[in-house]
Structure 1
Amino acid sequence: MSKIKTLSIIIFCVACVLVVGITIGLQKYNNLTNPHKAFEKDLKQQDLLIQKNTQRQLDLYGQEIQEKEDVDNSSLDNLDSSKNVINILLLGIDSSEKRESKRMGYRSDTIIVSSVNLDTKEVKMLSIPRDTYTDVPGNKNKDKINHAMAFGGGPKKKGNQYAVQAVEDLLGINIHYYITVDMDAVKSIVDTIGGVTIDVERNMASREKVLEKGEQKLNGEQALIYLRDRNTSIGDFARIEQQQKFILTLFQQTKENGKLTDILPLYLKVQDKIFTDLKVEQIGALTYLLKDIELDNIETFILKGKGIRIDGIYYLEIDRNHMEKIIIENFQSI
């Protein structure tokens, strides 16, 4: 074979590789800048589920809703019109060298369902109290919902899947993805972006470290004190409100500082402390979408209930009427 012919073959092969590489690159870029494309498969499946399940949801809730004066009848339309919505379960866990060495179980003390509408750029966030008494995979009896992660063996085993199933069974909605964040990752993220300014509601403490009341810029370690503290008369509900406030503040300040584009690099930096079934391009697509989301278009909810004790252990029995009203009016019911 002549040198010219050999060179031509090499050039042709290199050109083919470049064409394939550019094509794949353009496809991934398109996914990054077009959330509908990044989640195309899920959205198509969602349409099919909506068509199949609308009548089932109407049968379950329709008569009951119509009998309640405090529920707008137009909420029934949401069962059929909620399209292009992605439900993501956000879980917060605490790990440490001590927990790792003693093989202590992980519990997801932060449980938030975030529903993102790709069309309207609206976000709904529903916090589920960690003590919620419900069916939990891995246990034949009802238990606290935050135990699902531990029963599944933690985030590196089946903990995420168990947590997703527990939330789906409780709320009656489909969870498309999960993001489990170790609180150490939150610390690193806050320090990397230069802190978060927030108005601390009261004096808070963790071991010897004190966080004083008032507006201030929190570093990573201080942010963890704020996110964990529940030393008030309303206990875990105070912590939930603080977590929601922190997330919204972090989002707004990151957006105002033009730092939203840093989210993907930050994720890659701390990904050993984050567990998710989202692909990198999907995370990028959601980051791209955040630029068009206004703080006023983010709405937060908290499940409520009453405390009960079983065998001396505290649980929260959820107010199911309150829960169903929130789900039907605000969340994807498929």
Structure 2
Amino acid sequence: MKKSGVAKKILFAFEIIILLVLIGGLFVYGKINSSLDKLNTTEIDENSVGINEDIVQSERLQGYTNIAIFGIDSRGEGSELSAENSDVIIIASINNDTKEVKLVSLYRDTLLDVGNDSYEKCNAAYAYGGAQQALTMLNTNLDLNIQDYVTVNFAAVTEVVDCLGGVDIEMTRDEVIHMNNYCEGTAAVTGKSYEPIEVPAEDITQTYHLDGTQATSYARIRYGGGDDYKRTERQRTVITKLVEKAKKASLSQLTEIMDRVFPLIETSFQKNEIFEMGASMLSYNLGESMGFPKGFVPVTFETKGSCVVPVTLRNNVVELHNFLFGTDTGYEPSETVLHRSEVIVSLSGYDETYFANSTESADSTETDSSGTYSTEY
């Protein structure tokens, strides 16, 4: 599905559930009860999100809580949060013993089965069937057991950053230029004002204090090399900064976040679950992060458009499990993953021999001068 206007790209991966997790101190206050009523809550049937029974019984996943975070291009309070592509897809995996949280950003153009043997860009799953179909897409393609999700309206990002007093981000000269350019579109959609940052005369990297509009615009940048891959890295940078500030936030700041941001969120977590999580969440900490897939080839298909082709899906899913759950789990991909990996090889023509015979790195992020993928099918 296509979006119109500047809003198409104005969203990024605000890891809202991690923010909720890490500001657990607010749960001791009576206001939280009424504030949680502002969240848009839904219920997910765990039998309808494609969890492989072998995965459910797996000891390697028993010690982890896996959550999906979706960023949706909906506008304004009360906007429908289930009819858009999820241009942000993040998996947050919480180690229940060590309290470490790892983040995996799924590139939105990744070629996967989004449902009914339809191989398209993975962000289309949300548009076709909301959070339930998006969860099914993640579980069946990646051998995961995700049952809960958080969907955030992109406007919530600017609100959270502003409520927390802004974030300090290192930027290159090129990033300052691109961020300033993006600010105009971001401000037009959010209705917030902004001040352009003065572009340094020299090509240097320095730290800037960004408000909500600027931080959102920084995370939108897809120019200057790296395309969506570098963009997801910027997203995770902002996430880390927000979490750091949230842990030190005052009660008034947290209250403001709840009042202004909760109406822009949809989640499968019920009020009692959030209360239970809040008791000890300040002990959680952000660990490593990565983009998925790590090994890929950018390909332009005649009907599918520009896609990120995992090479191969099987190998990338193994690497994903090793990253999230350790290399000593003895994980072997399910028949479903193996089949879908073969289909993607058939569609693209790229198998695991590609990188063995190529001088390109498995996680190359190069594109042509137009910023589009140059391999065509």
TM-score in terms of structure 2 length: 0.59
Is the 2:109–2:306 Cα contact (8 Å) retained in structure 1?
yes
- Give the unaligned 5+ runs of structure 2: 1-26, 33-43, 186-195, 200-204, 335-377
What's the counterpart of residue 98 of structure 2?
A: 120
- Give deviations 1:88-118, integer Å, cap 9, x for gaps: 1011112237xx79x9951111111001122
In 2, are the aligned partners of 1:195 and 1:220 still within 8 Å (CA)? yes
* Counterpart check, 1:300 vs 2:279: no
Asked if 2 retains the 8 angstrom alpha-carbon contact of 1:261 and 1:287, the reply is no
Is 1:217 matched up with 2:206?
Answer: no
Q: 1:307 to 1:289 in 2, by over 3 A?
A: farther
How far apart in 2 are the matches of 1:115 and 1:261?
29
- The answer to whether the 8 Å contact 1:133/1:144 transfers is yes
Counterparts of 1:277 and 1:216, CA distance in 2: 36
Q: CA deviation at 1:84?
A: 3.5
One-letter amino acid of the counterpart of residue 299, structure 1? E
* Residues in 1 aligned to 2:285 and 2:100: alpha-carbon distance in whole angstroms: 8
Contact 2:159 2:257 in 1 (8 A): no
Q: Map 1:8-157; keep pairs closer than 5 Å.
A: 53=54, 80-96=59-75, 105-137=83-115, 140-152=117-129
Distance across 2 between alignment mates of 1:264 and 1:136: 38
Whole-angstrom CA distance in 2 between matches of 1:289 and 1:268: 23
CA separation of 1:263 and 1:172: change in aligned 2, threshold 3 A: farther
Q: Does the Cα contact within 8 Å between 1:87 and 1:175 map onto a contact in 2?
A: yes
Instruction: Return closer, same or farther for 1:270/1:119 CA change in 2, 3 Å cut-off.
Output: same
Which residue pairs with 2:202 in the alignment? none
CA distance in 2, matches of 1:111, 1:328: 20
Change (3 A) 1:195 1:285: farther
Corresponding residue to 2:234 among 232, 242, 266:
242
- Residue range with higher mean Cα deviation, 201-210 or 104-113: 201-210
Deviations 1:260-311 (A, max 9, x none): 896576345422211101112433444444311234xx11111121111211
SS of equivalent to 1:130: coil
Aligned residues of 1:87 and 1:113 also touching (Cα < 8 A)? yes
- 1:144: Cα distance to partner? 0.5
Assess, with a 3 A threshold, how the Cα gap between structure 1 residues 160 and 301 changes in structure 2: closer, same or farther.
same
Q: Sort the Cα spacing of 1:234 and 1:278 in 2 relative to 1 into closer, same or farther, 3 A.
A: same
Q: CA deviation at 1:82?
A: 3.8
In the other structure, the counterpart of 1:160 is 131
2:232 is paired with a residue of what secondary structure? Answer: helix
Q: 1:253 to 1:223 in 2, by over 3 A?
A: same
User: Take 2:139 and 2:252, find their aligned partners in 1: how far apart are those partners?
Assistant: 31
SS at match of 2:213: helix
Aligned equivalents of 2:276 and 2:71: distance in 1? 22
CA distance in 2, matches of 1:214, 1:281: 44
After TM superposition, the structure 1 = structure 2 runs for residues 277-288 of structure 1, keeping only pairs within 5 Å, are 277-288=268-279
1:206 maps to what in 2?
Answer: 182
**Residue aligned with 1:270, SS:** helix
Please give the alpha-carbon distance, in whole angstroms, between the structure 1 residues aligned to 2:98 and 2:146: 19
Partner AA of 1:94 in structure 2? D
* Residue in 2 that maps onto 1:13: none
Tell me if the contact between 1:86 and 1:176 (Cα under 8 Å) persists in the aligned partners. Answer: no
RMSD between superposed Cα atoms in Å: 3.5
Q: CA deviation at 1:182?
A: 0.7
CA drift of 1:259 comes to 4.5
Task: Tell me the equivalent position of 2:316.
Answer: 322
Q: Which residue of 1 aligns with 2:39?
A: none
2:141 to 170, 174, 177: 170
**CA offsets 1:122-164 (integer angstroms, 9 cap, x no match):** 1111110000101113x65211011112112xxxxxx111111
Q: Report the secondary structure of 2:62's partner residue.
A: coil
Equivalent position SS for 1:291:
helix
CA contact (8 A) 2:183 2:217 kept: no
Partner SS state of residue 226, structure 2: coil
Distance in 1, matches of 2:235 and 2:137, equals 21
8 Å contact kept, 2:82–2:131:
no
Change (3 A) 1:91 1:125: same
| TM-score normalised by length of structure 1 | 0.66
Which residue in the other structure is 1:36 paired with? none
Larger Rg: 1
Query: Percent identical across equivalent pairs?
Result: 29
Alpha-carbon distance in structure 2 between the residues aligned to 1:104 and 1:326: 27
Q: For the Cα contact (< 8 Å) 1:232–1:238, is it kept in 2?
A: no
